[in-house]
């Protein structure tokens, strides 16, 4: 049986850090730590190896996207799985986060079954390949069977 990886929770609301920590413990992740902002998260990530980061999108002074970009730009951290959480996501939020390298999105409040599903998807994913930055191409330039080509 493999050991559960340490998890880092990043949210500016201390109550949510505690809630997500409790949910992760119930799911079999005994080593869960929480911080309340992006700079603290980067400091933690650079001193300890984490198997997953679950971060709020809307934080100060560094939001979840900025944190994600810092992680993806770091040669040591770039493969760290990353889940973004927020009470609502706009299409633009999802597109920007996807281009920045987010592995999954979860709307708050999330339940245990949804969290399980997302964790399985993200933690069983393949390691990230280092690629050249993607230009601002629209995701609508593909052929959709029922919509035709955009």
Taking 3-state DSSP, the helix, strand and coil percentages for the chain, each rounded to the nearest 5, stand at 35, 15, 45
107, part of any domain: yes
87, part of any domain: yes
Distances (CA, A) of 74 to 9, 15, 17, 77: 19, 29, 25, 5
Are the CB atoms for 64 and 57 separated by under 8 Å? yes
Question: What CA–CA distance (Å, rounded) separates 136 from 99?
Answer: 9
143, part of any domain: no
pLDDT above 90: percentage of residues in the chain: 55
Higher pLDDT, 72 or 141: 72
118, part of any domain: yes
109, part of any domain: yes
130, part of any domain: no
Please report, for the domain that includes residue 83, its CATH number. Answer: 3.40.50.2300
Q: What is the pLDDT of residues 54-109, one digit of tens each?
A: 999 999 999 999 999 999 999 999 999 999 998 888 888 888 989 999 999 998 88
2, part of any domain: no
43, part of any domain: yes
Vertex 15: Cα angle to 9 and 17 (nearest 5): 5
Q: How many folded domains does the chain comprise?
A: 1
DSSP string spanning 75-101? TTTTT--EEEEES---HHHHHHHHHHT
**What is the domain extent for residue 87?**
7-12+25-91+99-125
């Amino acid at each position: 049986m493999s050991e559960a990886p340490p998890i880092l929770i990043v949210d500016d609301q201390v109550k949510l850090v505690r809630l997500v920590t409790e949910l992760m413990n119930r799911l079999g992740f005994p080593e869960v730590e929480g911080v309340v902002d992006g700079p603290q998260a980067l400091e933690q990530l650079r001193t300890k190896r984490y198997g997953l980061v679950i971060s709020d999108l809307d934080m100060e002074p560094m939001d979840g996207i900025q944190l994600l970009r810092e992680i993806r730009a770091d040669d040591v951290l770039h493969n760290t799985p990353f889940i973004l959480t927020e009470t609502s996501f706009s299409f633009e939020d999802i597109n920007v986060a996807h281009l920045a390298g987010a592995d999954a999105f979860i709307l708050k409040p999330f339940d245990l079954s949804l969290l399980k599903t997302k964790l399985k998807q993200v933690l069983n994913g393949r390691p990230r390949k280092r690629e050249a930055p993607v230009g601002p191409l629209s995701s609508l330039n593909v052929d959709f069977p029922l919509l035709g080509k955009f």
